[in-house]
Amino acid sequence: MNEKVKVNSFGKKDKFLRITGTTIQFKNKQIQREEITEIIYDVHIIVFYRFSVGRRYYIGLRTPTQQLDLVFKSFFGLSLDYFTELCNRITEEIWEKTTDKIWAENKKLLLAGKAVHVGNCQISKKGMVLTKQQKHIGWENLHYEVLHDRLVINHSADSSIWTNLYFENTWNIDILIALLDWITKDNGLAEMP
């Protein structure tokens, strides 16, 4: 992918976007793909005084030292198809390889006996710690559910222990969901030392 794109319904195609096997460049910022450690993707409604006026598409990529934000806005349905198609092409180029790499790195940390942090959660062989509440949920008591806008995590025996992680502002939430599935559904806990 190597083209000029527009970033909102009223703009021109004058922002440079290039995605290669090694780098991602948007506007005047460039990051190395192998350095990406966090990813986020969200589409949400733009509201003005209780009325929907458009959509905001957000793809974020982080390395230990940089952050690259790809933000596109469609207003009043103008260029809606353009931005939907553009974001689909971008995610096809970067999503699977990037999330697979981040997932493998986090799985490796867990297998080495270390903890993985996502949002206000920390997971390890012992279970999950909700860091804001400083509450622990053992794997046998963990219940999680993916809803349309968030991941709900709670303790199956203690209703006072819970949290919501929202897709729009939680980096690596898809990685966390995949790790939870691996641990709870694919018996990943048995692989941990």
pLDDT tens figures, 160-191: 999 999 999 999 999 999 999 999 999 888 88
How far apart are the two ends of the chain, measured CA to CA in Å? Answer: 42
Rounded Cα distance, 88 and 82, in Å: 10
Are 31 and 63 in contact by the 8 Å Cβ rule? The answer is: yes
Which amino acid makes up residue 148? H
Q: Model-level pTM?
A: 0.90
Are 105 and 64 in contact by the 8 Å Cβ rule? The answer is: no
pLDDT of 178 reads: 96
Provide the 10 A C-beta neighbour count for residue 145: 9
Looking at the predicted structure, is the pLDDT value of residue 25 above 90? yes
pLDDT of 155 reads: 96
Rounded Cα distance, 69 and 38, in Å: 12
